[in-house]
Amino acid sequence: MARVVKVFRTLRNHWKKSTLAACVLSYGGYWLYGKHCDSVLRREACQLARVSFLHNNIFEILNQNQLHKPLSVVAPKANNLFEKNAAPILHLAGVEITVVKTDYEGQAKKLMELMEQTDMLIVAGGDGTLQEVITGLLRRPDQEAFSSTPIGFIPLGSHNSLSPSLHFLSDNKVKDITAATLSILKGETVPVDVLQIKGEKEQPVFALIGLRWGAFRDVAAKISKYWYLGPLKTNAAHWFHTLKEWPLVHDVSVSLLAPRPRPPDLDPQRPPRPNLLHRIIRRLKNYWSPPAAEPLKPEEPEKWEEQQLSTPELYIQTHNKNPAERRINDSLMICAEPGNKTVGEFISVGNKKVKDPTLFTENSTKLEASVCRLTLPEGAAGFYNIDNEEYEAVPVEVRLLPRKLRFFISAERREELISQPQ
């Protein structure tokens, strides 16, 4: 008992050192526990990968052409995360991949333009790497042949906008990476829309999420400059922006083509081939009485509809937030915030848009189109955000390429998306 009293007396006499030691030990224990949990997640994922080696849908894709290995493109900053969390799972599942590690921004785009045929493409990175891969892929002259290649996305970047549409997300980065890698091994895919964004002079840029322009985008790009304000930096950035310019409303001209009806989904299974006698009779019938050729229908001129919008924020986006949704029309969405906001409403809405840029208020203007042309006001300078990547704001034409690419998706996530109300 005397020894216990002595220990407590020592802790009381040196309370500053005791407090510091308690804090360091608590943080160290929490850090070690997190590392242990990450190790358990990796071990469980590797065990599932070993099981999938025996019976797995992904090998049906790979066995169609044994000459080409799957290609993996890894962002520069994501190399360690990929090697530690994703590569062992693919290796244990028996998937032999060719890993290409990019060294600088824009390299993935050039690699896609020179890439040879592959059975599967894995993108390990964030929005920037994914957009470079998609743009390089769809700029190819033979892009029709490559657009059918299934693509797996492993979220390793600071922004992973498409990931919530493909996998369940959590607060644990390791869990998100392993879940995305396992969904690739299961082989279930979903078609996604692509936006082709083309200026007057530049080559087209392709996006999976959308194009964003306006005051909220400009403020979001400056929030990091106010890091010293801590939790108040978002409010401060929006308030300081209103001091420099108010009102934050710009007139924008948008020309639209109406949405197009969505064609029915094709049956992935081929119908059985008729027997030889049936094929001979059909050929003889077509030879003696060939079917009459259908007259060519004259092409109808495109009917453009022009809209004048006054808005602080314009967002042209796809429906890829729910790629499994069954829709009647193939269309892109044009959302414009109302311009009658007070300073307080601007700050409040801006705080919500930092977490979800696709969020719009109930009284926002929402239009649907298959193609739109965006004309900015004269003298308007600024930048677009195209899938969270910054581009100079110029007049552009945005065209929807419906169901252009196929991405691997978690089966559980797909079921949840299908069950959501239309």
Q: Which CATH number belongs to the domain containing residue 145 in this structure?
A: 3.40.50.10330
The reply to whether 200 falls in a domain is no
Same domain, 58 and 87: yes
Distance CA 308, CA 125 (A): 38
Cα–Cα dist 70/80, whole Å: 20
Do 177 and 242 belong together in one domain? no
Say if residue 318's pLDDT is above 60. Answer: yes
Residue, of 12 and 26, whose pLDDT is higher: 26
pLDDT, tens only, 346-381: 888 888 888 888 888 778 888 999 999 998 877 666
**How far is it, in rounded angstroms, from Cα 25 to Cα 7?**
18
Confidence class for position 398, pLDDT limits 50, 70, 90: very high
Residue 56 DSSP code: -
CA distance 70 to 150: 10
pLDDT tens digits, residue range 191-227?
999 999 998 877 899 999 999 998 889 898 889 888 8
Assess whether 105 and 219 both reside in one domain. Answer: no
pLDDT of residue 332: 92
265 closest CA partner among 123, 90, 402: 402
> pLDDT (tens digit, 9 = 90+) per residue, 62-91?
444 444 466 667 666 667 888 888 888 888
What is the pLDDT at residue 270?
A: 62
CA 409 to chain centre: 12
Measured between alpha carbons, how far apart are the two ends of the chain, in Å?
70
HEC letters along 240-279: HHHHHCCCCCEEEEEEEECCEECCCCCCCCCCCCCCHHHH
> Does one domain contain both 230 and 373?
yes
* Structural domain contains residue 14: no
What is the Cα–Cα distance from 147 to 402, expressed in whole angstroms? 12
* Residue 285 falls inside a structural domain: no
Whether 303 has a pLDDT exceeding 70, the answer reads yes
Q: 377 near 125, Cβ under 8 Å?
A: no
Among 157, 187, 217, the domain-final residue is 187
Q: What distance in Å separates the CA atoms of residue 120 and residue 70, rounded to the nearest whole number?
A: 5
Least confident of 251-255, 261-265, 310-314, 399-403: 261-265
Residues 113 and 214 placed together within one structural domain of the fold: no
Indicate if 239 and 381 belong to the same structural domain: yes
Q: Does residue 126 carry a pLDDT above 60? A: yes
Reported as type and span, the H/E element at residue 8 is: helix 2-13
149, 121 contact by CB (below 8 A): yes
Q: Both 406 and 345 in a single domain?
A: yes
Host domain of residue 374: 207-263+302-419
In a domain, 332, yes or no: yes
- Percent of the chain predicted with pLDDT > 90: 12
Q: Are residues 98 and 152 in the same domain?
A: yes
Position 67 scores a pLDDT of 40
Q: Which residues contact 216 (CB under 8 A, 6 or more apart)?
A: 312, 313, 337, 349, 350, 353, 357
Average pLDDT for 242-257: 87
Which residues have CB under 8 Å from 305's CB, separation 6+? 255, 256, 257, 258
Predicted TM-score (pTM) of this structure: 0.82
294 domain-assigned:
no
Specify if 9 maps to a domain. Answer: no
In a domain, 279, yes or no: no
CATH number of domain containing 327:
2.60.200.40
- Residue 371's pLDDT is 92
Domain count along the chain: 2
Residues 353 and 409 in one domain: yes
* Helix, strand counts (H, E) of the chain: 15, 18
Give the per-residue pLDDT at 148.
84
Same domain, yes or no: 214 and 176: no
Say if residue 182 is in the same domain as residue 218: no
Q: Per-residue pLDDT for 32 more than 60?
A: yes
Q: Are residues 117 and 212 in the same domain?
A: no
Per-residue pLDDT of 325-349, as tens digits, reads 888 888 999 999 888 888 888 888 8
pLDDT value at position 87?
Answer: 85
- Residue 275, in any domain of the structure: no
